[in-house]
Amino acid sequence: MALAAASFYLLLLLITICNATGNFYHDFDLNWGGNRAKIYGGGQLLSLSLDKLSGSGFQSKREYLFGRIDMQLKLVSGNSAGTVTAYYLSSQGPTHDEIDFEFLGNVTGEPYILHTNVFAQGKGGREQQFYLWFDPTKNFHTYSIIWNPQHIVFLVDKTPIRVFKNAEALGVPYPKKQPMRIYSSLWNADEWATRGGQVKADWTKAPFTAYYRNFNAETCTAASCNSRFTNGEWQKQEIDAYSRRRLRWVQRNFMIYNYCTDHKRFPQGFPVECRQ
């Protein structure tokens, strides 16, 4: 316990002396879980915890319509089986839009699964899953979403892992009209999260805790874009050649599921956006 406390206060000290763009007090509300969600260091560090009674979560004060969102996360360490750390953009209602990162926990020594999905007009089912090329529990890593009218790009430490292109010309809905808030939560999903629910959460290891820092948003609201970012990098219609090479590297070596290649799920043919 003493070692864990010392590690936490060292982490807090390091966060306090870092220059962070966002401030959790100013940018987010702790919206569930009571004191399981906490903000430290003058708004520079946030933690979410999960115990057997409840998880916890937060949401952005503002809504966004297009932009780039960056957040650094340090995921639950040790035996995280049965836990899910979700970090996503979402609107509300039955025809909501949503852009998802979900980190599926695992037993000690086994890798996390990074689950991604895109919902448009209430319909999802566009899953891609990846292993990471590092241990996401040892240090903070940056997870980013670029969202513009042409495409959605998921990035890990500035490396693109997935691109979802606007295929409205093919009749595929695309999230472009509904402003979305940023949400994150840490919750119990041991019915399905680890090996299809075969491995349950070990509550003797609770509370499970994830940490957040260095939030940054280069975005538009429903009314207008911040003038600093009207010509932002995120507005590019295509990723560059180097990013395309990195994308291929990730998908060749670390992708473990792609709905666009799941013959059992789509015996009559893949969704039309998969043909792009």
Residue numbers annotated as active site: 98, 102
238 vs 234: CA distance, rounded Å: 10
239 phi/psi in degrees, rounded to 5? -80, 155
Rounded to a whole number of angstroms, the distance between the first and last alpha carbons of the chain is 52
Residue with tokens 């340090």: 74
Q: Partners of 87 in the beta sheet? A: 101, 184
Query: What contacts 204, CB < 8 A, 6 or more positions away?
Result: none
Give 168-204 as a DSSP string.
GGGT---S-SS-BEEEEEEEE-TTTTTGGGTS---GG
Nearest CA among 172, 137, 138 for reference residue 152: 172
Within the chain, where are the H helices? 2-16, 24-27, 241-253
